[in-house]
Structure 1
């Protein structure tokens, strides 16, 4: 198939008005946008995250938040709805400039617009070749005026510094408050557990494991004393029986060598009670009930012995002199009464020792549980006190700003030139778009046209070889009408389209906002 360049050039010339109209529309749109779009100024500020001023080996802060995480938290706090609306009202970001009519935007649109215009970018902080790079934070804001751009940028920087200080001091303060409460709670529990242990020991003073060996020794000694008393009782009873039998048989006791004891039964009993009292005082407190009972018995027996010493006992209750036999029998009966009293006392002591010894294993387990819980609680208390000391140090570090902090390297200043739009590029883009659309329209019209326009089309489509061809000849009215339509299209492209764009920008919505929404919709 031969490509007929002359024919297609002629077609391009005949349809040149389509191309020029598209070019005019694209150029008008590009020039209008380049003229109407407001300037956008972008001011930037730089911050750096500095490490702790005091080495961790000497005093560590209690704020352990990672730098990246902390910056993300700060950014989210700054970009909250309430914070952005407050800043917009305070700085009058959306206030109308002189000679300009600005519709009040809804709160949601203000928040979305500010989040789009505020940029907080973080660089560094990663390890490269074994070295950690410094974390740099760049803050910028886009505004229609250079002063507003710098003002808002510096305000965002101030908010970042304030949020950083507030977060770190708040975390340190909450940590210290937690450990203060923990120490107070554990101290109260320690006091309660200590009181429980003391109360248990007082209730079971005679059955504690630490005196078990002593009580067992007491039990053995009491058993030996009981055996000795029983032997003495058996001997005295035997003497009394022999003495009675002799007296009944002979009526005389002179042949029996039974000298009177140097002490009466009450005196010997008194001496035994005093010995036992001294033994109890070596173990128990003078305030112990058993000691007090024993002391009362000693006092009563002392009064009896004193009365016997004063009155004597060599007479009978009727006042008649006693015989030697009666004196001997009375002495032996007194000794038996004394030994019986000693037996009862020793048996009571042995019973008390037996009960306390049997209760000791259970008391030992209970006491060990109480003391183990107390020791565990004391370890927790000591750890809490140590943690509180570290928390106090960390709180002091943050209060003095000696921990990790964010410092301003470069404040934002008013830019001299707008960041965008590039008006030359916008105008060139409009002209390029019109040029491309014009060519596309011509090509599309040619692809859609299936009419026979050349002799070769007759041959190819109908198989007819013509002798000659006559071109289409338009009347004067058709020529005038065609030229009018073309000139009207040029007028619309050059005049109406810029006017319509200006009207939309001034009365409906700024074109830059419309373009931003279109870009958001298509994901640019």
Structure 2
């Protein structure tokens, strides 16, 4: 509390210096706010619309993108446009003495372009300009708007024309691709008629018929072989008729029984066994000559030849049927043809779909081109045209005065600190301790004196 009282006394003591430091910036601020010319601001609001039905989604995206707005802003604030508008409207009274760079810098400083865009919000551009004359501000903003609208019309017409030309080329390319794919499908179907998926039921029926024929042929071959084997056995056994055995046959039978009995008693090299074997061989030779001279043998041989011819034909037919069956089974197992045909058909479908979509987009692009040329499909709409302001928008004189007062307070505080830091006079016991390092034994409190002249107070302090 004593420290605050001490500081307050110092402030009272330095009141003239502090008042001067505070008043100087405040007076300057008041003078500036009083002498500054009025600033008038005019503004216009433009809405950027989009026509998705006129601009195919393959060429322009839905909505007006932020990049388009930035491009429009950049075009508006180009050096050429700023210089043209500034000189046409005589924005600056000393414009003849200003360099081009100074004019451009001043125009940029007085121009404000704000973009508001969102997914579900309207796309807006707010253009504002500040000038010392209300008419100049409104005229410059009007020129800004006219420049943007003219550029929009030109750009929109060129874009619509380029889009239509591009889509015409795309339609021709897709039509040629569809025709090429259609020709490829037809050629592939003609070259692979036997393996096409649509002939699958027919090939399965044909395979089943050939398999049945092969089974029947194998049964016929088995029958022929059985008949031939029976005839051959008949030739070998001599059973040509049902009459009684001949003398030669009876002799052969008797010798076989005697040889079997002799082998059971004697060794195989016994003379009796050898003699019986010789007699048996002679008897069998005689029996063979008798059978060869039999009248039914020639008929049996002819039947055997006929059966062999049938067997040869059946074998050939079976091989041919087996080849056909193998080919049909291979075609049924082969999926490469179906996959290739599906690929060609998919290419044809994609080409036809692309062609139809390109036709629809071309129709929309042509409509957009016509609307752009006739200026009925504008993408920019002025929803708030520039108006001549009736009240100045600046400068903010209260803020200038307030700022001057704030600077004055800071200046007064700075002057107070400088004066007190430079004053080495001892006023308190604390000053004695800090300056000389001595601790006073007794401190006499300050007694408020009677009012004295200012000169006497200065002598005391």
TM tier relative to shorter chain: 0.5 to 0.7
The equivalent of 1:78 in structure 2 is 72
Q: Secondary structure at the match of 1:346?
A: helix
Find 2:124's aligned residue among 127, 130, 137. 137
Aligned twin of 1:259: none
What number of residue pairs does the alignment pair up? 358
Distance (whole Å) between structure 2 residues aligned to residue 73 and residue 189 of structure 1: 45
Per-residue CA deviation, residues 280-304 of structure 1 (Å, 9 max, x unaligned), is: xxxxxxxxxxxxxxxxxxxxxxxxx
- For 2:393, the equivalent position in structure 1 comes to 422
2:442 is the alignment partner of 1:442:
no
Matched residue of 1:438: which SS?
helix
Shift of 1:219: 1.7
Distance apart, 1:71 and its partner CA: 3.2
Distance 1:106 1:340 in 2: 119
- What is the match of residue 207 of structure 2? 212
Equivalent residues in 2 for 1:98-177, closer than 5 Å: 99-104=96-101, 113=108, 117-122=112-117, 125=120, 135=122, 137-140=124-127, 142=129, 145=136, 146-157=138-149, 159=151, 166=159, 170=163, 173=167
1:89 corresponds to which residue? 80
TM-score, length-normalised on structure 2? 0.53
Q: Distance in 2 between matches of 1:43 and 1:418?
A: 15
Measure, in 1, the Cα distance between the counterparts of 2:161 and 2:230. 92
1:389 is the counterpart of 2:356: yes
Q: Once the two structures are superposed, what CA deviation does each residue of 1:126-152 show, in whole Å capped at 9, x if it has no partner?
A: 6xxxxxxxx353442547644342233
Distance in 2 (alpha carbons) for counterparts of 1:115 and 1:190 = 68
Unpaired runs of at least 5, structure 2: 242-295, 372-376, 431-442, 457-461
1:374 to 332, 341, 352: 341
Deviations 1:402-457 (A, max 9, x none): 9xx765443775542399x734x34443333223322443344345544999xxx7
- For the 8 Å contact 1:30–1:431, the answer to whether it is kept is yes
> Residues 6 and 432 from structure 1, CA distance in 2 versus in 1: closer, same or farther, beyond 3 angstroms?
same
Matched-pair contact (CA < 8 Å) for 1:169–1:399: no
**8 Å Cα contact 2:18-2:413 kept in structure 1:** no
Q: 2:152, 2:343 → 1: CA distance?
A: 45
Contact kept, 8 Å, 1:19 with 1:442, in 2: the verdict is yes
What is the root-mean-square deviation of aligned Cα atoms in Å? 6.0
Task: Give the C-alpha shift of residue 350 in structure 1.
Answer: 0.9
1:61 and 1:398 in contact (8 A); partners too: yes
Which residue is equivalent to 1:431? 401
Mapping of residues 11-410 of structure 1, within 5 Å:
12=15, 16-30=19-33, 34-35=36-37, 41-49=42-50, 67=62, 70-79=64-73, 83=75, 88-89=79-80, 92-93=83-84, 99-104=96-101, 113=108, 117-122=112-117, 125=120, 135=122, 137-140=124-127, 142=129, 145=136, 146-157=138-149, 159=151, 166=159, 170=163, 173=167, 183=178, 187=182, 190=185, 194=189, 197-198=192-193, 209=204, 211-224=206-219, 226=221, 340-366=308-334, 368-375=335-342, 377-379=344-346, 381-382=348-349, 385-386=352-353, 388-401=355-368, 407-410=379-382
For residues 443-482 of structure 1, the aligned pairs below 5 Å read 443-446=413-416, 449-450=419-420, 463=445, 465=447, 471-472=454-455
Is the contact made by 1:74 and 1:164 (CA closer than 8 Å) also made in structure 2? no
Q: Equivalents in 1 of 2:378, 2:413: separation in Å?
A: 61
1:44 and 1:138 in contact (8 A); partners too: yes
Question: Please, which runs of 5 or more residues in structure 1 have no aligned partner?
Answer: 54-59, 127-134, 247-327, 474-524
In 2: Cα distance, 1:411 partner to 1:7 partner? 63
1: CA distance, partners of 2:322 / 2:223: 20
Using the TM superposition, give the Cα deviation of residue 212 of structure 1 relative to its aligned residue in structure 2, in angstroms. 0.9
Q: Is the Cα–Cα contact under 8 Å of residues 45 and 124 in structure 2 kept in the other structure? A: no
**Aligned partners of 2:224 and 2:310 also within 8 Å:** yes
8 Å CA contact 2:66–2:117 kept in 1: the answer is no
1:396 deviation in Å?
1.8
- Residue aligned with 2:29, SS: helix
Partners of 2:120 and 2:315 in 1: CA distance: 85
- After superposition, the C-alpha distances for 1:347-391 in whole angstroms (9 at most, x for unaligned) are 12211322342454343121x342145236535643653454244
After TM superposition, the score normalised by the length of structure 1 is: 0.48
Identify which range, 407-416 or 5-14, moves more after superposition.
5-14
